Amino acid sequence: MAQPPQRQDDAPGDPEVARAARASRASGDRPIRLLVPVPPIVRAVLTNAQKDPSEEMHRVIDALFRKLTPERGPAEKGPYAGEVRYFERVNESPEEVRTLAEDTFVLLNRAHEALLQLMQAKQGSEQVTREVQELSAGLAELVDAAQEVARRDRGQGAAEFEWEVTDP
């Protein structure tokens, strides 16, 4: 006798996977199966670089989900804290999942942090110190502009949305 077709969201025969699927349904999560075809050229490049294509795809997709998953900022700090947390996640995320605007922000932000560390570590003449501080201020303005572009690319209300979605 023919078996009824298995629904896409039904858990496979493995009891551990089935238990995890039931637990996620009970918590309100809906498990989905994501099939990502790896083009032959990508598979060849990753294999040539001695990387497992499926593991590399999982790593990038996990990083993308981590970057896009809302996280609440520090308690009692308002929606601005949610935005700060977002930019921290962007700074930590691999470059494969960042947009051009986010990449620009990360590059400029890291350069500004390195310049500030250099200023603290080295003491020079008063004129050199003043020039480096002016350079640091100019770089800070570039970081702010890059952050504004990334914010606009992401959506102006995204930080408020993250804060509301993750409200306990």
The answer to whether residues 84 and 165 touch, using CB atoms and an 8 Å cutoff, is no
CA dihedral 150, 155, 159, 163 (to 10 degrees): -150
Q: In the block, which residue shows the tokens 């890291």?
A: 110
Half-sphere exposure (Cβ direction) of 68: Cα atoms closer than 13 Å = 9
Q: Give the pTM.
A: 0.58
Confidence grade of residue 10 (pLDDT, cut at 50, 70, 90) = very low
Site of tokens 């500004």: 112
Q: Which two tokens stand for residue 161?
A: 């949305």
Please tell me the predicted confidence (pLDDT) of residue 141.
92
pLDDT in tens, 128-150: 778 888 888 899 999 999 988 88
What is the pLDDT at residue 106?
92
The 3 state secondary structure assigned to 115-136 is: HHHHHHHCCCCHHHHHHHHHHH
Kindly indicate the confidence band of residue 108, based on its pLDDT and cuts at 50, 70 and 90. Answer: very high
